[in-house]
Structure 1
Amino acid sequence: MASNLVWKLCRPPVFRQLASLRSGAEIRHFSSSDPPPENISRYPVPYRKDLPHDIVDLMEEVESKGGFLPNVFKVLSHRPAEFRAFFSYYNELMNKETGGLTKADLHCIAFTLRSPLFPIR
């Protein structure tokens, strides 16, 4: 099965597609001076004034610590119950003193996610 997948990925059309992506032909990187893209999600991103206070407080804390607010906060705030569930699960998993995850496991998770949203303590 793995060899079948490798064969499919090694076909010439796939190579051409990967080469065009690798050369940056279809990828646009935004610098801080560029205006941000209009939409970051298919879901509407609510204004902070329309959000519950606990979510706004968390957003402000993250923004003050990191210097910016990751898009995941903006997008998940569309549904406050899911926002709270996601971040409570994150806190239980990453900030727990006891449990099966070692510091090395936490570093591996954070490195894999590669986001300032998941700092290692």
Structure 2
Amino acid sequence: MSVEAGSKVIGKVTGIKPFGAFVELPGGKTGLVHISEVADKYVEDINEHLKVGDQIEVKVLTIGEDNKISLSIKKAQDKPKPKPRAKTPSPEDFEKKLSGFLKDSEERMSTIKRQAESRRGGRGRK
């Protein structure tokens, strides 16, 4: 199996350093998973996530001209599709709702005023 940028492969962790982990890939090549590519969250100590001998799935990010292979564990994981966001109302919908609210509000205010005047016996009316 050839190792190409963008492909997912299974590799074996052969060494761990504070900055990342070295992974042996099919065909005997070795690549590096930088500590920032180990997990979706912040990784302070890579030893909490990986140990020498672990079989892991990695995605090949790049293969440099000097044949250095950059790998990612977090990009190799299939993530669930994000839920669709609620539809944002259009300006026309907003205007329609606002005018309906204003109409309803004016009707309620006039009802309240009529009730208040009837309690006072109609005083103050011209």
TM interval, short-chain normalised: under 0.3
Q: TM-score, normalised by structure 1?
A: 0.19
Q: More strand by proportion, 1 or 2?
A: 2
Decide which structure has the larger Cα Rg and report it: 2
Higher relative contact order (CA 8 A, sep 6+): 2
Q: More helix by proportion, 1 or 2?
A: 1
Q: TM-score, normalised by structure 2?
A: 0.19
